[in-house]
Structure 1
Amino acid sequence: MSESTPASRAKLRQILIWGAVALAVGGGVLGWQRLKPQGLPPSIASGNGRLEATDTDIATKTGGRIKQVLVREGDNVKAGQTLAIMDTALLEADLARAQAQVRQAQQASATVDALLAQRQQAVTTASAQVAQREAQLALVSKEYQRAKELVAQGFLPPQKLDEANAQLQGARAALSAARSQVAEARTAITTTESQRTEAQSAIETAQASVKRIEADLADATLKAPRDGRIQVRAAQEGEVLGGGGRVLSMVDLSDVYMTFFLPETAAGRVAIGSEARLVLDAAPQYVIPAKVTFVASVAQFTPKTVETAVERQKLMFKVRAHIDPQLLARYTNQVKTGMPGMAHVRIDANAPWPEKLAVKLPAEPAPAPANASAPASAPATASAP
């Protein structure tokens, strides 16, 4: 037997590599076909997933002790419904203190207003005294001029001129003192106005504290942000939680969907708004209508719990199909998230749905009370919306 050349060995390796690639791709396609329900036409793409919904945690804003929890797991609740109440004894004491501070600040402001009025009256009084001193100075000045003329003519002795001059100087001093009193009273007004501004700021600060505490008191009553069902009761009455501590978890049953994965060849033909059909493992006799609301723009690895080992080697696209909220509202008490099933998507809009995927829903249940819990042991056929 002749020895193989390096070129022939390289060619052989290339053939083996391409063969392995072909086997992997073929195995992936065959694996997806095995997982796809049998008997479906090529116009239908399928993937498995679980029913999901929007979860919301009901948590405390500030730390405190739980006083009451008014709902149980499984209860249906309405938006705005009170779910739990926190102990507010400390907040109520803080509110009383803040309200007292408001009253104190208002009283201080009233006192400053009265003082300001007194200062303004003092300015008026001092201004009147200035006018009086000015009149006296004018009179004394005239008397001084007359005394000066009479002394010069010899009708009065010189001491009369001295007396008139003393009265003139005294009147001038009194006028200066009166004017100083006016200036002092006006300065006092400026100071009092600053005090009034400070008093008003103290009132606003105390009122802001009252509003903050009132907001904390309002937040101490935990209410449902939307309609839904209580899924988890994470805390009990009497427990002390920190700020942000979870008390309850609820699920929005008006936003239920199934997330599943499709290979590139199928996902590339699925458009937003495409019709879908959901079949749950617990109720395979029912077919639930849905619509595609999301198709991933970037491929990703399929989760290990979804496909076979061969299929996990392929990149898949995440797809999400939502159930009509009006349909969900009719079967609220029967909707259960987390249930596994298959999602089927029509990738050819012109192709009809096969008979086995025709919409089939259970009999519509009678209306239930808003707070009625789901039955403890519901039949399997009631698990699908």
Structure 2
Amino acid sequence: MTNSTDSRTSLRRKVVIGAILATLAGAAFLAWNRLKPQGLPASIASGNGRIEATDIDVATRSSGRLKELLVKEGDDVTEGQVIARMDTATLDADLQRAQAQLKQAENSKTTAAAVLAQREQAVNTASAVVAQRQAEVNLATKQLQRTQELINKGFVSPQKLDEAQAQLAGAKAGLSAAQSQVAEARSAIVATKSQLVEADSVIATAQASLARVQADLNDTVLRAPRAGRVQVLAAQAGEVLGAGGRVVSLVDVGDVYMTFFLPETAAGRVAIGSDVRLVLDAAPQYVIPAKVSFVASVAQFTPKTVETTAERQKLVFKVRAQIDRALLERYRQQVKTGMPGMAYVRVQPDTPWPDKLATALPVQAYDKPSSAP
């Protein structure tokens, strides 16, 4: 008896569940039947999609502490606007050190240049001494020749010849010493020039270090890479972030589009630039104009083998409809991403749009004529 009762209870549960499922299916069918496009010509294809926009993450380049955050969620920012600043205490110290190193290198070059001038002057002085010693050698040589002639004629004693020879030898020794001083001074010039080249290298290195620190300092000021709207604040002032740490996420409300999918038979007739009409679920009374900016060249959800016509109908291609930037700028405050809707694309350019897909946009406050003061 117990088994019979349990069976009847189970049967009743199955009947109730079946009735509920049937009711839900019927409701879903009625909803779909009411929402699906009615009376569209064959020259217009449609697909459902969702409004999207280009997302931009503003992140740190180096690790550090977030000093201040200058925006909040929902703020509209312009290109180049300062969004946040990082703490720069460490980088300020690095900057001072790099500046000191550059100054030291420049002073070393100045000192080397002064030494080079001294070495060049020493060469000039030694060269003058060489000329003097050469003149003394020439004079001593002539005196030796005259003394030899006088000795040959018997006018002087042979002892004078020894004196003349000694004077000539002394003059030649002085000339050799002066020439050595010139060579030494010139070698010093070469060494000093090498020091100058090294000083230039040290200056270049210091300048590179200074530029790197300055670049790091510039990167501590986080700016909006393009105009957009703040969507997410991923960090708060005082937090320590690693390199590449996300601070703010922006959405470019001037780059808005809807991505939808069309079957192979329709996508094959869609061209770049084709007219599109977008109708959002949240505002079905408005029809937004757009144009096809992208049609995928590779199908998605493709079966492994495509042989029959029925299988080919399973091919779908991603299509993107871009909304005009001027229109987006006009309705900037109303732009919302993530909203679902329908996209209707004209696969035959000469086909007129049905009345229900004629462009219909909300009236802006500044579109109305202003009242007299």
2:253 matched residue in structure 1: 253
2:20 matched residue in structure 1: none
- Are 2:96 and 1:76 aligned? no
Indicate if the aligned counterparts of 2:263 and 2:313 stay in contact, CA closer than 8 A.
no
What's the CA shift for 1:150?
2.3
Q: Distance in 2 between matches of 1:38 and 1:358?
A: 15
Q: Is 236-245 or 80-89 further displaced after alignment?
A: 236-245
1:172 matched residue in structure 2: 172
Letter of the structure 2 residue corresponding to residue 185 of structure 1: A
Q: Deviations over 1:278-310 (max 9, x none)?
A: 1111111111111111111221118xxxxxxx9
Q: Distance in 2 between matches of 1:139 and 1:280?
A: 113
2:41 matched residue in structure 1: 41
What's the CA shift for 1:41?
2.5
2:25 matched residue in structure 1: none
Indicate if the aligned counterparts of 1:36 and 1:47 stay in contact, CA closer than 8 A.
no
Letter of the structure 2 residue corresponding to residue 196 of structure 1: L
Indicate if the aligned counterparts of 2:68 and 2:85 stay in contact, CA closer than 8 A.
yes
When residues 365 and 226 of structure 1 are mapped into structure 2, their CA distance, relative to the original with a 3 A threshold, is farther
Q: TM-score, normalised by structure 1?
A: 0.82
Q: Distance in 2 between matches of 1:193 and 1:35?
A: 86
Q: Deviations over 1:170-207 (max 9, x none)?
A: 11111111111111111111111111111111112111
Q: Deviations over 1:301-342 (max 9, x none)?
A: 18xxxxxxx999812011110111111001111101111111
Q: Is 350-359 or 285-294 further displaced after alignment?
A: 350-359
1:21 matched residue in structure 2: none
**Unmatched tracts of structure 2, length 5 or more:** 1-31, 303-309, 368-373
Q: How many percent identity over aligned positions?
A: 68
- Are 2:121 and 1:121 aligned? yes
Q: Distance in 1 between matches of 2:186 and 2:343?
A: 85
Indicate if the aligned counterparts of 2:264 and 2:312 stay in contact, CA closer than 8 A.
no
Give the root-mean-square deviation of aligned CA atoms: 2.1
Indicate if the aligned counterparts of 1:235 and 1:248 stay in contact, CA closer than 8 A.
yes
State the SS of the aligned residue for 1:42: coil
State the SS of the aligned residue for 2:249: strand
**Unmatched tracts of structure 1, length 5 or more:** 1-31, 303-309, 368-385
When residues 61 and 315 of structure 1 are mapped into structure 2, their CA distance, relative to the original with a 3 A threshold, is same
- Superposition pairs of residues 351-366 of structure 1, within 5 angstroms: 351-366=351-366
- Are 2:208 and 1:204 aligned? no
Q: Distance in 2 between matches of 1:140 and 1:245?
A: 87
1:349 matched residue in structure 2: 349
Letter of the structure 1 residue corresponding to residue 339 of structure 2: M
- Are 2:340 and 1:340 aligned? yes
Q: Distance in 1 between matches of 2:177 and 2:158?
A: 29
Q: Distance in 1 between matches of 2:166 and 2:86?
A: 83
What's the CA shift for 1:249?
0.9
Q: Is 58-67 or 154-163 further displaced after alignment?
A: 154-163
2:327 matched residue in structure 1: 327
State the SS of the aligned residue for 2:72: coil
What's the CA shift for 1:365?
4.2
Q: Distance in 2 between matches of 1:251 and 1:99?
A: 40
Indicate if the aligned counterparts of 1:301 and 1:312 stay in contact, CA closer than 8 A.
no
- Superposition pairs of residues 59-208 of structure 1, within 5 angstroms: 59-208=59-208
Q: Deviations over 1:26-50 (max 9, x none)?
A: xxxxxx9998423323222111111
What's the CA shift for 1:157?
2.5
Letter of the structure 1 residue corresponding to residue 287 of structure 2: V
Q: Distance in 2 between matches of 1:364 and 1:76?
A: 18
State the SS of the aligned residue for 1:99: helix
Letter of the structure 1 residue corresponding to residue 175 of structure 2: L
State the SS of the aligned residue for 1:301: coil
What's the CA shift for 1:160?
1.9
What's the CA shift for 1:154?
3.0
Letter of the structure 1 residue corresponding to residue 118 of structure 2: Q
